[in-house]
Amino acid sequence: VLETLENRHAHRDYLVRLDCPEVTSICPLTGAPDFGRLTVRYVPDEALVELKSLRDHLTGYRERAILQEELVNEVLDLLVQTLSPRYLEVSGEFNARGGIGVVVTARAGVPPELLAHA
């Protein structure tokens, strides 16, 4: 479901960070909407993710009842399957419910040293 672009600089390891502050889903326990911000960091191999298709995919969670931990892991799985990246990490920071906020961070691969700068 995600489209890709050719990475013309695949001879070099470099890092791409995507900031997606507009993510909303449905809490499966209460039925009320959740709101969060996803951050994707990856070192591309042959493919770059096309941003409009990523946005459209994230919009699909609008109607989905899903736990926050599972949303983050599911996005990670899809991106890894689509891009076969050298490294990929997804972090989701969700607004507080009942006075408690949640941040979930998952990754695939070994984080590169240059991650600190991005």
Min dist. Cβ of residue 2 to its own copies (A): 13
| Residue 111 DSSP label | P
* Residue ranges in 13-52 that form contacts with its own copies under rule CB under 8 A: 14-22, 24, 32-33, 35, 48, 51-52
CA-to-CA dists, residue 34 to 11, 50, 75, 81, 104, angstroms: 40, 25, 16, 26, 14
First to last CA, the chain: 27
Annotated active-site residue 34? The verdict is yes
Annotated active-site residue 27? The verdict is yes
| Contact criterion met (CB below 8 Å) for 67 and 26 | no
Binding mask 65-94 for its own copies (x = CB under 8 A): --x-xx-xx---------------x-x---
Q: Based on the number of CB atoms within 10 Å of its own CB, is 19 exposed (0-12), middle (13-18) or buried (19 or more)?
A: exposed
Among 2, 7, 47, 57, binds its own copies (CB under 8 A): 7
Min dist. Cβ of residue 65 to its own copies (A): 13
Using CB under 8 A as the binding rule, whether residue 1 contacts its own copies is answered as no
Min dist. Cβ of residue 66 to its own copies (A): 11
